[in-house]
Structure 1
């Protein structure tokens, strides 16, 4: 038997009447001692093979990229829909009646305050002024004659050369003449004003709209239809509505000290235009309504923006980014680092001290650019996985490449197409 090899897989030990036997036809009949020795050797061999399979080396650490986060003062920005409103609007109407002789402006072009827009035929008003001037001169002449009479009667009355009644009459005539002169002067001024009104002037500086009248048209004083509308576009207003519930929440956070309010007159406002681009000139919040609209439960906020190029036009729909306060201890987490669990709660993978990852729930308040503003769930110095999330398994060690927030931002900018990278 020594020196021979046997196939252990073919040996089937069975218990039969207390004796160990081997399936016939496979191996020669062996002694009981030899059979036991052979079975023991096979069992030892099988045991060593099992322990070898179970003792396989563990997987190497998985490579991921993490960002080391720190709290930052983050502005509390509210994005609200709104409409552009003109800073000033003037509907030009005639103050005297007549026929339009000339239009003195080009439609759609800017005009200045006091610039003539229309010329109404002034002939009748010039004649009225001349008549008023003549009436004034007549009254002044009569008054001068009455004054001479009074001057002559006063010494004669002292000498009893004329009666006191004659003197009193002369004085009354003088005073009546002086009143006539004053009335004549007023009539002259009125005629002069009406003549001036034949030049229809712009009451404000701005841009003209369409003219509703043409030369030859008859207009009347106080008519309901305006001749043209002048709109001031620089600066310009943007009116937005904010839900009263959001305003209450903001005030609660301010009162609790969780955020810091913007100083009066310094609340910065940005605009996003209808095509998705951001308006390049910031505005300031001017005022907030003191009442809530009962139909919409919202409060109207008004901001003023510079508009030298006339890009903003009344009636345009915009979205306003209103900076109402500042959160002094918020975290900016890249959006790709935030996922959702089965309950819909936002989570991030934070690398622990032993090198494994921990799924930590966080509170996301809003987005700022390509990052989430996280207000709860993170601590200063936390390492949050941003690349390689699919490699994370429970208990698996991670080989993390740590980046600062600045380094991550630089990498993100470098990955953008050259046409979209910010100018340096």
Structure 2
């Protein structure tokens, strides 16, 4: 019996030792996996503050001078001399071209000769009247002879008037061979050179003179933009709205801002059925001739916003066509909030129409990597820093 009891006792001790080792291994493994809790990540946070700003709407525009006058010959002939060059600045009445047309000089000479002949006929007819009149008074010849002489004189005077009219026409036609500028302006392209045969039926003009002391910028607004414009600008009539429209700015093709302000002066009364837009015209002074006809630019129309909810664009993120921001609650937990924004922007800022209110705390860099209910360590930002660059 004793021999059998000792092995049994040893077996029990061995089992207890194995159990103890297994327990210690689990505790060590548990101890190895556990560690100190990670601190929340830091994010810059700002408080939403109402701000006043100016929203800018840009519209593509085509520039045209106040006057664009095609210079065409009124007589047929060869270009004899060109007195200007493309791009030249000319004054009203300045000589531009001369046309070689000898026939008009010949017509003038013939007309002058016809006048001389007609004047001689008038003198002869007058002499006949003067000779006949005393003879009639003395009843030497009949009164019929006097009337006939007077009729002849009248016919000769009429012929003289006709000759003078023909002369004036010939003189005008000859004057058309010298072409002068009808306005102050800038010369366009010159397709015909010296020796070219030109006439009033040519497809292309000799050149175009653009009066660019004022420049018109033509642009369009679609129906939605036109309604927004009409509702935003004060006034009960179209003329009142035009007067209340703020001055507009011209953004040139190199993205620079034209120094002179312009005014919107006309709005088309009809909407183009093909484009669905209405035409606008803004006028800009052009004292140094920087703007030229045919150039392209953008007309920028300002729209003021007073005490609006503005946030930096970087604070929002877009998901499926909607905009969201992360709002921080009192426990420093973030929650995504959908916002609605205006189509217009104030520089790098969105104008929020719903979803936020003054006093809300928003994560400055709206990263979509954040998750709802995540706890962060907020780092408050100064208001001036958040809205730095607004309206610049």
Where does residue 136 of structure 1 map in the other structure?
115
Q: Which has the greater radius of gyration?
A: 1
Is residue 336 from structure 1 mapped to residue 314 from structure 2 by the alignment? yes
SS state at 1:319 partner: strand
Is residue 181 from structure 1 mapped to residue 181 from structure 2 by the alignment? no
Residue 144 of structure 1 deviates from its aligned partner by 3.7
Q: Is the contact made by 1:351 and 1:385 (CA closer than 8 Å) also made in structure 2?
A: no
Please point out which of 92, 104, 112 is paired with 1:125. Answer: 104
Q: Is the contact made by 2:61 and 2:298 (CA closer than 8 Å) also made in structure 1?
A: yes
Where does residue 300 of structure 1 map in the other structure?
279
Q: Is the contact made by 2:44 and 2:364 (CA closer than 8 Å) also made in structure 1?
A: yes
- For 1:402 and 1:225, the matched residues in 2 are separated by 65
Runs of at least 5 residues in structure 2 that lack an aligned partner in the other structure: 1-14, 18-35
Is residue 92 from structure 1 mapped to residue 79 from structure 2 by the alignment? no
Measured at CA, do residues 388 and 293 of structure 1 come closer, stay the same or move farther in structure 2, by a change above 3 Å? closer
Across the two proteins, how many residue pairs are aligned to each other?
354
Where does residue 70 of structure 1 map in the other structure?
50
- For 1:386 and 1:160, the matched residues in 2 are separated by 126
Please point out which of 215, 226, 229 is paired with 2:194. Answer: 215
Runs of at least 5 residues in structure 1 that lack an aligned partner in the other structure: 1-23, 27-55, 414-421
Q: Is the contact made by 2:78 and 2:101 (CA closer than 8 Å) also made in structure 1?
A: no
- For 2:125 and 2:308, the matched residues in 1 are separated by 90
SS state at 1:125 partner: helix
TM-score normalised by length of structure 1: 0.67
SS state at 1:268 partner: coil
Superposed counterparts of 1:283-322, under 5 Å? 283-322=262-301
Q: Is the contact made by 1:337 and 1:349 (CA closer than 8 Å) also made in structure 2?
A: no
Measured at CA, do residues 253 and 109 of structure 1 come closer, stay the same or move farther in structure 2, by a change above 3 Å? closer
Is residue 363 from structure 1 mapped to residue 344 from structure 2 by the alignment? no
- For 1:238 and 1:221, the matched residues in 2 are separated by 31
TM-score normalised by length of structure 2: 0.71
Q: Is the contact made by 1:351 and 1:382 (CA closer than 8 Å) also made in structure 2?
A: no
Where does residue 221 of structure 2 map in the other structure?
242
- For 1:268 and 1:370, the matched residues in 2 are separated by 22
Residue 116 of structure 1 deviates from its aligned partner by 1.8
CA deviations over 1:157-189 (Å, ceiling 9, x no partner): 455344221222222122212212221221121
Please point out which of 191, 196, 207 is paired with 1:228. Answer: 207
SS state at 2:164 partner: helix
Is residue 109 from structure 1 mapped to residue 88 from structure 2 by the alignment? yes
SS state at 1:295 partner: coil
Where does residue 258 of structure 2 map in the other structure?
279
